[in-house]
Structure 1
Amino acid sequence: MKKRFLLIALLATFSLAMKEPDPKVFSTPTLVWCGLDFSQVKCIGPAGFSEPDEIKNRYFDAWNNLVLAESDKYNVQEFYMKGKQENDLSVVTERNEIPEVEGLVINDDYALEEGKVEQMISEYDLEDHDEGLGLVYIVEALNKNEKKAAIYVVFFDIASKDILWQQKYNESAGGFGFRNYWAGAIHKTMEASEKDYKKALKKMSKG
């Protein structure tokens, strides 16, 4: 059963990777950074997450604040070659209150069910933006057993709530201290996504 679950997860990830991005992802000059959505996250490996209440009540905000505070390193605008970046974390700030502390830490395999990302985006109502190109990182899992984070990088149309491009990444964590350890995986996700973004742009330009 475990092998079958892993195969399904791999096929789902491959399927996502094969989807072509909507041209709006590249042509829209301004990007609205919507933050890190932890509303459906699971922390896998109890030994690595001894204080789940701290994760929810402190670190969800800390990781989002870090991206904004260290914008030279977590340079969303530069990674995605945009002329302007605006920030609107209103939705993720509210959604990150959703997880129950009691069920946050598990020791089993975990993956978002098919269609869950689409459902989540359909519920997004940003406070300061009602149109434009949105970008959110939906964090599926922080896996201490594998020392990796699973994150969906999702570009979407704010007005229609249509997903324009989504990719799932499993990147290694690393860094001193709990916050920085998982922030390392977030940064590597940005770097990996940047490479895919530029490859897709080049392919589309040639086409």
Structure 2
Amino acid sequence: MKQRKWLLLFLSLILICSCKTVSYHPREISGEPHVVWVGLDFSLVRMIGVNDFRKPKEIFPGYLEKWNNLVLKEQLDDLEDNLGKPILVDIDSVMEMNRMASADQIIRRVGTESDLMDSHITPEMLEEQIKSYKLKETDGIALVFIIDRMVKSQASSAIYIVYFDIRTRKIIYSKRGIFKAGGFGFRNYWFGCIKRAIRAL
């Protein structure tokens, strides 16, 4: 009986270890002195909901700028801690691209699970997006969050977490993750997805 209890405990520990949280932390950054934070890119986003994105004039570009500024104000320490690297900030290009996002990217209907799981962003689109950034930094590895979907009925966002070589613009790591929203008010509710994505690095 005692041996059986120890066996069950051992198997439980194996199960827990095998189900650890997905990490968005590529080994390629291990030798880098720092990582360049390029920002939250909403220029390709689709926002899906009936009444949840009903104030496009406030969202574009107002909330896109607020969410980017919140990262600088509240999340830089977490970025550094989770990556184990100093962070250099170079978000001007992404902020400029976000100003081109518009109400046309809002889809007014009830979102489904497939709306969250599917993506309209192809690998080729990601490559072109990375090449389009006009950065002040000329060397090193950069990190950008490319926001794919924000689906209110699923209370979640789909985000591409992308690391790339600044000089060559080669993508060295790209993974799409689903992150839960949460918080009081529109700004904080959707920023909850960003905070959870940063914690997952």
| TM-score when normalising by structure 1 | 0.77
Partner secondary structure for residue 32 of structure 1: strand
Matched, 1:66 2:73: no
The equivalent residue for 1:99 is 101
Partner secondary structure for residue 36 of structure 2: strand
The equivalent residue for 1:81 is 84
| Cα pair 2:75 2:195 within 8 Å, conserved | no
Q: Specify the code of the residue in structure 1 equivalent to 2:78.
A: N
Partner secondary structure for residue 49 of structure 1: coil
Unmatched segments (≥5 aa) in structure 1:
1-16, 195-207
Provide Cα deviations, 1:11-43, integer angstroms capped at 9, x if missing partner. xxxxxx9xx94x432211211111100000111
Matched, 1:117 2:126: yes
Q: Distance in 1 between matches of 2:119 and 2:68?
A: 22
Aligned positions, number: 171
Q: Distance in 2 between matches of 1:71 and 1:171?
A: 16
Matched, 1:145 2:153: yes
Partner secondary structure for residue 46 of structure 1: coil
After TM superposition, the runs of 4+ consecutive aligned structure 1 residues lying more than 4 A away are: none
What is the alpha-carbon root mean square deviation over aligned residues?
2.0
Matched, 1:36 2:37: no
* Shift in Å, 1:67: 0.6
Q: Specify the code of the residue in structure 1 equivalent to 2:90.
A: D
Q: Distance in 2 between matches of 1:133 and 1:152?
A: 16
Q: Distance in 2 between matches of 1:141 and 1:161?
A: 24
Q: Distance in 1 between matches of 2:151 and 2:36?
A: 28
* Shift in Å, 1:117: 1.1
Q: Specify the code of the residue in structure 2 equivalent to 1:98.
A: M
Matched, 1:130 2:138: yes
* Shift in Å, 1:136: 0.4
Q: Identity across aligned pairs (percent)?
A: 36
| Cα pair 1:137 1:151 within 8 Å, conserved | yes
Partner secondary structure for residue 173 of structure 2: strand
* Shift in Å, 1:112: 2.8
Structure with max Cα Rg: 2
Q: Specify the code of the residue in structure 1 equivalent to 2:100.
A: I
| TM-score when normalising by structure 2 | 0.79
Unmatched segments (≥5 aa) in structure 2:
1-21
